[in-house]
Amino acid sequence: MLGTFSLVTPTEILFGRGFIDQLNDRAAKLGSRALIVHGKNPGRLSVVFKSLTSIDIVQTLTIEKEPDLNTLTAAIDQGKSLGVDLVLGIGGGSVMDSAKVLAAMLPSHTDLLSHLEVVGSGLPLSARRLPLILVPTTSGTGAEVTRNAVIDVVEAQRKVSLRDNQLLPDLALVDPALTDNCPKQVSLYSGLDAVTQVIEPYLSSRSNLFTDMLCKEAIPKGLLALKQLMEGESKGARDALAQVSLFGGLALANSGLGVVHGIAGPLGSLCGAPHGAICGALLPAGIAANRDNVVEAGHKARVDDVIRWIAEVFEVSEGQALQYFREWIAQNGLPGLASIGVTEEHILSATQAAVGASSMKANPVVLPTEIIENVMRQSL
């Protein structure tokens, strides 16, 4: 029944410009000895570190790329003896996913691999996680409100998830000011990821009333905000894209994703390109694949909605919308998968893994192997 659904969300979400000023007081209520996981941009972090006057920062961990199993295992081993009672993740999706893993595994007596999907046993967490606060500094992944952490297992050439409701934080604090003046390329890649993560849950076979309410507002809002940011810095557009990213995280956590993310996971592990860039390069062809293959009338109407919103934002006809969108993405710095290092060999290796990817299970139609491969080829 359309009217039935279940929801998973963090304990609390704070969204608003200037809300970073509340971080110290909120953190002090949860713990006193903190591990802070952060990105590599010190300027964006200085305001955060200065505000934590009531917290003893006993360890910091810099995440410069998507987290891998070996790096996280070493950080867990190092952190177990430090008496950490609070974990803060302040950065992009990779940072927040790493913080989730550390909060979950520092109190645990089991090894991380045993809890991973696909390459591990997928066991539920064996201990209650540490208190956890997540603060995004980019607008893209929505990882601050999702219940999984994506981990690159290099030896298996796969990106897999640690997935458990405990990975939802005690507090997701989203202050759009932390994204101001983000470099154009980062804004494009992360913004395309944010847009993808409201489009795919809207098209998902698991969509529901809650996710529809989020996505119907967020899809045109995200497209417009990203278009504005490619034209110049705008606080209004930053605020809008931060909201879209948050809505995308809530939506995907409750209705799943689709073909774009189904391909992006294995392809990213093989080529090492940024996740948001892969999603952005694949998005027009992914929408087209669903348009050309969905049969059920309700799913067709949803694909038509997405194409109409793209056409309205970019002021083109619906028949031109997907081609124009792809050209616009290319003109703003992402010509295609080849430009970020994807090769023919990567496509051949990723195709079969994509067919069985967890994200693919929520796509509105089962796509044959040759169509999945063709989505990548069209996106080169």
Per-residue pLDDT of the chain (380 residues; tens, 9 = 90+): 356 777 888 889 999 999 999 999 999 999 999 999 998 876 667 777 778 889 999 999 999 888 899 999 999 999 999 999 999 999 999 999 999 999 999 999 999 999 998 788 889 998 999 999 999 999 999 999 999 999 988 888 788 889 999 999 999 999 999 999 999 999 999 999 999 999 999 999 999 999 999 999 999 999 999 999 999 999 999 999 999 999 999 999 999 999 999 999 999 989 989 999 999 999 999 999 999 999 999 999 999 999 999 999 999 999 999 999 999 999 999 999 999 999 999 999 999 899 988 899 999 999 999 999 999 999 99
pLDDT of 87 reads 97
Q: What is the pTM of this model?
A: 0.94
Q: What is the three-state SS of the chain?
A: CCCCCCCCCCCCEEECCCHHHHHHHHHHCCCCEEEEEECCCHHHHHHHHHHCCCCEEEEEEECCCCCEHHHHHHHHHHHCCCCCCEEEEEECHHHHHHHHHHHHHCCCCCCHHHHECCCCCCCCCCCCCCCEEEEECCCCCCHHHCCEEEEEEHHHCEEEEEECHHHCCCEEEECHHHHCCCCHHHHHHHHHHHHHHHHHHHHCCCCCHHHHHHHHHHHHHHHHHHHHHHHCCCHHHHHHHHHHHHHHHHHHHHHCCCHHHHHHHHHHHHHCCCHHHHHHHHHHHHHHHHHHHCCCHHHHHHHHHHHHHHHHHHCCCHHHHHHHHHHHHHHCCCCCHHHHCCCHHHHHHHHHHHHCCHHHHHCCCCCCHHHHHHHHHHCC
